[in-house]
Every structure is written in C-alpha cells, then in structure tokens.
C-alpha cells in the first residue's frame, strides 16, 4: 500500500471512530429502545440529514460542506476540540471561527511564566501582543527600542500599528512608509476576523485619527496574513542604518510573542538623535533588494531606501 493510500485509510478510520464514539456516549431519544448510544438514524435526524447522507459521512465517503460538519458536531454535542478534529478529518481544514466573538470578550492574559520568559529575553526587545497588535506585556529593552514611547502613552495606546504612525518611528525606521502599509494590511486581516468587536472598531478610529496617510492606507483594503518573520532596517545613533529581523511566534490564537533580533555587537538604545535622522532623510535613495519577505502588495510603487 502506498504511503498516501495508508494515510487516507487512517484518516477515514479516525473519522469513523470519532463519530461512533460521540454517538455512543449519548442517550437515545426513546429510552426504552434497545442498545446504548444514538443510532445512525438518530444522529442523522438531530443533524437534519438523511440517513443515507449521514451514513456516507460516517464512512468518510464524502467531503461535506463545513455547515454540515457543524450540524453533525452540534447534534453529537462535541467539545470544541472534537469539533475541530472532525472538521480537519472531514474537510482537511480547521473549522471556521465565529466572527467577532473572541476580541469582544475578555482581553488575552499573559501568565506569570510568559511574562518571565519575555523579561529574560533582555537585551533583545520582547513583548506579548494580542490580535490587535496591542502590547500586553514588554521587557525594558522593548521600551528602549521604542525610545520611551511606550512609557508616554496609556496601556491601550501601546499598539504596534499606532506606534508606526508616531514621529519617533519616522526617525527610527528608514522604510517607515512601507512598514506602515504592511502593518495596516495585517491589521485589516485581523479586523475582518473580529468585525463586530467594539475594541477593534475603536482601534481603527484611533488609527484613522493619526492622519491622512493612515486613512489612505485603510481605504486601500489590502489584506495580509501576519508573518512569522520579516526584516526591518533601523537607524542607530552610532552604527547608522542597521538590519535586524522581527520574529512573531504564536502562543495562543490571540496572543503572540514579539521580538527583534539585532546584529551581534549592536546595543540599545537604537533611537538616533533628530539630526542624524534628518541627514538620513536627505541622502539619496536606492532600491531595497533584501525586503523580499515583505508582501508584494506593500512594495508597489517602488520602495526606496533612505
């Protein structure tokens, strides 16, 4: 048997056993009937399916629509983990996430162990950010990287996207306009997944209030999936323009670990004085060739290196 055939057999067997197990733990609609657990016809009726359709589903002979999978999961009173597993086994994809629900509830919390991890990342900048790119916890190096910006704004204002539209970011990042466009596209991806969240609506309002550039970028309706790693250039008071890498590592669906990896021998603070930034802005530009990991939509029009 070929490896692909073996994997398909295991998938079908796992799906069948999962459905049978979930059926078997439920009581039949008619208590006096023989046997334990729901019959196929019972499960089919509760899911609003014909017996023939449900039986084919349980034998993994069809690829059902996500709505059908949800109906079966609800009928069999599956847990969130069982529902997710059923979607993966039946369709090859995770289940659709209810739009707007997670961000509308409680804020993601950073545990003591995660806070300790971020603290011990020093001297590298480190932070825990939520799906809105708002900082939930940071180490001292993160504050130094932002030139004290985090200490000058409220907790809800400590947002990575809002920071990119600050004056400090303009002095720190030679390619700030590219990163602004990229970050707005990434934010929009999360916005579409939390469209009914009042917190997201408030963040978008604060973003638009930063000025015309943010409003123009928001009107582009560009969407990008958050990357796990991307390059960035920063101005350093001693070393001039240096290259670094930003890494984003998901911890929970709504909590990410953010860090910047600096070249060896480079120390914080990175923030240059205004005179250095002004000289850099006036110098001739050249095209960036190393920013290949920034999505193409955010490089249209020719990104320039100052």
Residue 274 pLDDT > 60: no
Query: Tens of pLDDT along 113-158?
Result: 999 999 999 888 999 999 899 999 999 988 888 878 888 888 888 9
Q: In the prediction, which pLDDT does 100 show?
A: 47
Domain 104-305 part of CATH 3.30.460.80: no
Residue 286 pLDDT > 60: no
Looking at per-residue pLDDT, the higher value among 163 and 31 belongs to: 163
Helices (H), the chain: 3-24, 40-47, 51-58, 66-75, 80-91, 101-104, 112-119, 140-145, 160-164, 167-172, 176-193, 198-208, 212-219, 274-282
The CATH fold of domain 3-91: 434 Repressor (Amino-terminal Domain) (1.10.260)
Averaged pLDDT for residues 40-68: 94
Q: In the prediction, which pLDDT does 104 show?
A: 43
Residue 253: band (very low, low, confident or very high) from pLDDT cuts 50, 70, 90? confident
Q: 245: cis peptide before it, omega within 30°?
A: no
Query: Tens of pLDDT along 1-45?
Result: 455 678 899 999 999 999 999 999 998 776 555 667 899 999 999
Q: In the prediction, which pLDDT does 105 show?
A: 55
Averaged pLDDT for residues 187-198: 87
Residue 304: band (very low, low, confident or very high) from pLDDT cuts 50, 70, 90? very low
* Tokens 């023989």 found at: 34
Q: Where are the domains of the chain?
A: 3-91, 104-305
Residue 238 pLDDT > 70: yes
Task: Report which listed range, 44-58, 80-94, 290-304, is most confident.
Answer: 44-58
Residue 287: band (very low, low, confident or very high) from pLDDT cuts 50, 70, 90? very low
Looking at per-residue pLDDT, the higher value among 273 and 227 belongs to: 227
């Amino acid at each position: 048997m070929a490896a692909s055939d073996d994997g398909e057999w295991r998938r079908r067997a796992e799906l069948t056993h999962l459905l049978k197990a979930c059926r078997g733990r439920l009581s039949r609609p008619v208590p006096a009937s023989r046997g334990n657990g729901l019959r196929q016809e019972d499960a089919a009726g509760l899911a609003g399916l014909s017996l023939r359709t449900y039986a084919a589903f349980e034998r993994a002979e069809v690829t059902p629509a996500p709505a059908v999978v949800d109906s079966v999961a609800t009928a069999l009173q599956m847990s969130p983990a069982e529902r997710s597993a059923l979607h993966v086994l039946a369709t090859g994809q995770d289940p659709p996430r209810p739009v707007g629900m997670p961000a509308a509830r409680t804020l993601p919390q950073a545990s003591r162990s995660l806070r300790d991890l971020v603290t011990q990342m020093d001297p590298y900048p480190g932070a825990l950010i939520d799906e809105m790119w708002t900082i939930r916890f940071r180490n001292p190096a993160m504050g130094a990287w932002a030139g004290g910006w985090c200490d000058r704004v409220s907790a809800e204002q400590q947002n990575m996207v809002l920071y990119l539209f600050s004056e400090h970011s303009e002095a720190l990042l030679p390619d700030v306009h590219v990163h602004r466009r990229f970050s707005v596209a990434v934010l929009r991806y999360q916005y579409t997944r939390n469209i009914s969240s009042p917190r997201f609506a408030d963040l978008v309002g604060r973003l638009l209030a930063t000025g015309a550039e943010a409003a123009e970028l928001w009107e582009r309706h560009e969407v990008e999936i958050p990357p796990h790693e991307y390059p960035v250039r920063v101005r350093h008071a001693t070393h001039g323009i240096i290259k670094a890498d930003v890494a984003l590592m998901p911890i929970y669906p709504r909590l990410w670990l953010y860090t910047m990896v600096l070249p060896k021998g480079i120390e914080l603070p990175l923030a240059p004085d205004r005179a250095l930034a002004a000289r850099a802005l006036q110098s001739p530009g050249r095209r960036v060739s190393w920013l290949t990991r920034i999505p193409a939509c955010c490089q249209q029009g020719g990104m320039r290196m100052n």
